């Protein structure tokens, strides 16, 4: 592995014994914000940070390693834990979930004990949302714990109220997509804009596992009142942050956007997409990516390619091979005239910041949404599951930095709808001009947080002080 260059800028020494263990799932949606937070903590006054992810994710990050030992990139350390499912699969039933829970507890406890034996004791633990087992480990070792909520504050408030009396109302109207629910302190939300887990009629094992973990997480938040770090910032979600404050101790620490060129869990595609982008006109390229978990049907691939052809704009489309494995007779290729490029992987942040980018057609995962906001790129939101519909609602209705595409009855983004949405944000209409203006304004607000580091450092120092107070240290 090529070690990342050491980042400088430590200011104001804190307790040199502060050592944070951030525990996350080894998937991009959890890994990216967890790593970014760990690196920010490690740059504050002598603190140390270690990121622990599932063994299967660790092996993808560091494929050249022969063992599963701790490794450092010069800023933070990485160490894997085993959840008993080291092949990367999810537990399929209750018994497997119990066994995975036990394996995770045992593995994380061993990590905590090992650090203590080496003179580097863990002084605080954090977990990314649906990992309530970390509460048990922290309790067992008497270590202060914080929850890192890696989705919007609006989603945090929505889940909280779902598990505190609103579930029956939502279930009663689950087949009415336009029915509005008013949560305390929030603007009304339609059923179709809520997390998909709320209204699934036949949830699969993954959905069941996630919802059970989230319910347990909120029960523990109620009982133990840990600090909750939220991957957002005040200028973006002031209403939602205020709405959730009466129920939990929160600190906004976002946007958790990694620096350009940061390590990624994938290898760069052989095609030189950056050189291709350099040849395109400013604000002309349509970039498409639907995340690391989406799979395509043959019809969906055809509709997208035909839509891109009809748009006539240059495009860069990131499509993983794994997402097309069932489409054995479909050949993804560059369309005539050299208008487009299809890659298996790309550095998304680097692409979004390229001056040729005109819009981002996205599944609206929170990481991708935040990256587009920081880059000031208008979005075409094509949500699928989890928090993505709510993120799409925020993009279109609350921030007006994009439009939401409507899938057909089969759940397909059609050629016609893709063309309509791309033109709405990239054309010369009054609507397009307003979207671009709003996107640029929100980019400025995000940069006010990121570039100066002031608000972020104040938030993180406040968090560190509270942790030190819990451990009996003197606050700065």
CB 475 within 8 A of CB 239: no
Structure tokens at 398: 């609350």
Cis peptide before 360 (omega within 30 of 0): no
Largest CA distance in the chain: 67
**Distance between alpha carbon 367 and the CA centroid of its chain, in Å?**
4
What is the rounded distance in angstroms from the CA atom of residue 294 to the CA atom of residue 319? Answer: 9
**Which strand (E) or helix (H) includes residue 218?**
helix 205-224
Radius of gyration of the chain measured on its C-alpha atoms: 22
- C-alpha 384/C-alpha 390 separation (Å) is 10
Cβ burial of 141 (10 Å; 0-12, 13-18, 19+) is middle
Three-state secondary structure call for residue 362: strand
Q: For residue 12, how many other CB atoms are within 10 A of its CB?
A: 10
The single residue of 30, 161, 264, 363 carrying the catalytic annotation is: 30
Which two three-digit tokens encode residue 280? Answer: 């395109």
3-state helix, strand, coil in the chain (%, to 5): 45, 15, 40
Sign of the alpha-carbon torsion through 402, 408, 413, 417: negative
**CB-CB contact of 266 with 360 (8 Å):** no
Task: Based on the residue annotation, tell me whether 473 is a catalytic residue of this protein.
Answer: no
Give the residue among 147, 128, 133, 123 at the shortest CA–CA distance from 228.
147
Going by C-alpha positions, the residue among 389, 387, 356, 357 that lies closest to residue 372 is 357
Distance CA(66)–CA(93), nearest Å, equals 32
Strand order in the sheet with 402-404: 340-343, 315-318, 285-289, 357-362, 379-381, 402-404
Residues annotated as catalytic (active site), given as ranges: 30
């Amino acid at each position: 592995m090529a070690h990342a260059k050491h980042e400088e800028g430590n200011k104001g020494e804190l307790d040199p014994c502060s050592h944070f263990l951030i525990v996350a799932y080894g998937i991009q949606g959890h890994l990216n914000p967890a790593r970014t937070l760990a690196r920010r903590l490690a740059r504050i006054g002598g603190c140390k940070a270690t990121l622990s992810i599932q063994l299967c994710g660790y092996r993808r990050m560091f494929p050249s390693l022969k063992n599963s030992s701790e490794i450092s990139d010069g800023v933070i350390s990485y160490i894997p834990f085993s959840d008993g499912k080291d092949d990367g699969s999810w537990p399929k039933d209750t018994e497997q979930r119990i066994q995975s829970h036990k394996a995770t507890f045992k593995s994380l406890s061993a990590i905590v004990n090992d650090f203590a034996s080496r003179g580097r004791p863990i002084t605080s633990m954090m977990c990314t949302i649906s990992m309530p087992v970390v509460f048990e480990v922290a309790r067992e070792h008497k270590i202060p714990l914080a929850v890192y909520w890696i989705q919007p504050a609006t989603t945090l408030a929505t889940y909280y109220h779902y598990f505190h009396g609103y579930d029956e109302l939502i279930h009663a109207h689950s087949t009415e997509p336009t029915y509005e629910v008013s949560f305390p302190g929030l603007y009304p939300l339609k059923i179709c804009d809520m997390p998909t887990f709320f209204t699934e009629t036949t949830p699969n094992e993954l959905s069941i596992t996630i919802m059970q973990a989230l319910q347990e997480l909120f029960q523990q938040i109620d009982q133990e009142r840990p600090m909750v770090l939220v991957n957002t910032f005040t200028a973006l979600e002031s209403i939602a942050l205020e709405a959730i404050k009466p129920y939990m101790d929160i600190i906004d620490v976002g946007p958790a956007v990694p620096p350009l060129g940061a390590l990624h869990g994938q290898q760069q595609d052989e095609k030189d997409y950056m050189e291709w982008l350099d040849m395109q006109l400013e604000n002309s390229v349509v970039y498409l990516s639907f995340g690391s978990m989406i799979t395509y049907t043959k019809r969906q691939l055809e509709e997208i390619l035909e839509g891109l052809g009809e748009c006539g704009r240059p495009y860069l489309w990131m499509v993983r091979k794994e997402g097309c494995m069932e489409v054995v007779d479909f050949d993804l290729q560059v369309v005539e005239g050299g208008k487009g490029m299809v890659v298996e992987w790309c550095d998304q942040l680097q692409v979004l910041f390229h001056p040729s980018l005109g819009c981002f057609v996205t599944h609206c995962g929170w990481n991708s949404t935040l990256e587009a906001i920081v880059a000031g790129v208008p979005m075409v939101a094509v949500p699928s599951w989890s928090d993505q519909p709510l993120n799409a609602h925020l993009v279109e209705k609350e921030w007006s930095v994009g439009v939401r595409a409507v899938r057909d009855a089969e759940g397909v983004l059609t050629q016609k709808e893709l063309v309509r949405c791309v033109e709405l944000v990239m054309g010369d209409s009054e609507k397009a001009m307003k979207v671009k203006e709003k996107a640029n304004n929100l980019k400025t607000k995000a940069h006010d947080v990121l570039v100066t580091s002031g608000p972020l450092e104040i938030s993180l120092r406040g968090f560190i002080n509270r942790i030190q107070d819990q451990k009996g240290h003197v606050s700065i």
